[in-house]
Amino acid sequence: MSENTENEEKQPEFILIGSDTNCPPCDEIKELLKDQIAQGKVKYVDINSEEGIQYAKGLETIDLPYAVRSKDNKECQIFADKEFVLVKCKDEEELTALVEPEEN
């Protein structure tokens, strides 16, 4: 397996941008996505970190939390409830489920 393939496989699907201070919705989304973060499917970045500031550059407004799709750096909105987390990327109709309700 090539080194590039390994790097691609390790890249998270989405980057979750939030704040570690004074952002209850960020805390809630981070908690809902804890398994995906632990598995490397989602990466959490604090908006106040150097990496977070880089993601925020060029945005007109910043509503935390938000997500960025890794493969194309497209900004995405987050929709969440106690049982699900969905993301919808800018200029797209499709919603992507990051967390879905458990079926009984």
Domain count, the chain: 1
Q: Which domain holds residue 44?
A: 3-99
Which residues are registered as beta bridge partners of 16?
44, 67
Classify residue 104: in a domain, yes or no.
no
Residue 9 has pLDDT above 60, yes or no: no
For 55-103, the pLDDT digits (tens) are 888 776 778 999 999 999 899 999 999 889 999 999 999 999 999 887 7
Could you tell me the CATH number of the domain that includes residue 23?
Answer: 3.40.30
C-alpha 86/C-alpha 94 separation (Å) is: 10
Classify residue 30: in a domain, yes or no.
yes
Phi, psi of 97, deg, nearest 5: -85, 125
Classify residue 92: in a domain, yes or no.
yes
| pTM, two decimal places | 0.80
Q: Is 26 helix (H, G, I), strand (E, B) or coil?
A: helix
pLDDT at 59: 75
